[in-house]
Amino acid sequence: MAIRWRCSVCGYIYDPKKGDPESGLGPGIRFEKLPEYWGCPDCGAEKEMFEKIENYENEYPNY
């Protein structure tokens, strides 16, 4: 089961296995462990704007 987090504002996908290298985070940082100041790299939305996707491979079979 692949878990991802999706920004509900712009659709950015956070992949815990990759982290957010551009912000100096990860790879391998779980979403829950991201610092509070972290926001969407694309649109700047706050963490609370993200929604959890429990079965990413089902929603995105071609990923």
Helical ranges in the chain per DSSP H: 56-59
- 12 is a contact residue toward Zn ion (CB under 5 A): yes
Which of 4-34 are b and which e, b meaning 16 or more Cβ less than 10 Å from the residue's Cβ?
A: bbbbeeeebebbbeebbeeeebbeebebeeb
C-beta closer to Zn ion: residue 51 or 54: 51
C-beta closer to Zn ion: residue 1 or 48: 48
Site for Zn ion in 39-58 (CB under 5 A): 40, 42-43, 45
Give the binding site for Zn ion (CB under 5 A): 7, 9-10, 12, 40, 42-43, 45
